Amino acid sequence: GSAQRPTACVDPNLQRSRAMQRPDSGFSLAELLVAVAVLGLLASLAIDGGQRSLARMRVEAASRRLGVGLEAARRQAQSQGQPCALELGASGWSEPSGGSLAGCLAAVVASSEQQDSDAVTLQHNLPGALRFSSNGLILDGGTVVIAAPGTELRRCLVVSLPLGVSRLGRYTGPLDGPPSSSACLADGAL
């Protein structure tokens, strides 16, 4: 009584194909290099896209702050019935450094919220002091161009005379010359 086991006939080609299908215990050097290269490319694309988006947001925020500052100065002059003035510096609106008019403090406060002022450049042809009449009219005019490294987007703020109407737009002119109001085009995104 001993039981005999049936012997299985194993095809040698089948054994070879099973051995070839057996997973290795790790990745080959070529596979690792390809994976690292793909991950590096994806990471650089994400970082570059993020930096462009951040630069665009800085330009948009700075242009909105400038517009809000102008409106705050208008309201202050009108509500107090007193003329006031602003000066545009590298970091936004500030009190004028000279002249007989008081500063429009409401606009200075609105502009002081600016962060990363070094990341945004302001180029303008406004006078040293932008004056507001006691009824809220802007008495001076000019164009401001807002730009930031890392984005092609350039915004502009135009203050036109005789009534000091202001508008925001997209600047299409060169940056190497004085800002031109004719290069400030209407933008549907605003």
> Would you kindly state where each structural domain of the chain is located, as residue ranges?
30-185
Structure confidence by residue, pLDDT tens digits, 82-97: 999 999 988 888 888 8
Do the beta carbons of residue 158 and residue 179 sit within 8 Å?
A: no
Domain 30-185 has CATH 3.55.40: yes
Residue 114 pLDDT more than 60? Answer: no
Which of 64, 85, 65 is closest to 140 using CA atoms? 85
Q: Measured at the alpha carbon of residue 156, what is the angle toward residues 182 and 120, in degrees to the nearest 5?
A: 145
Which of 104, 37, 92, 38 is closest to 64 using CA atoms? 92
User: What does DSSP say about strands 92-94 and 155-160: parallel, antiparallel, or unpaired?
Assistant: unpaired
Share of the chain above pLDDT 90, in %: 28
> Average of pLDDT values for 105-119?
61
Full-prediction pTM beyond 0.85?
no
Strand partners, 88: 93
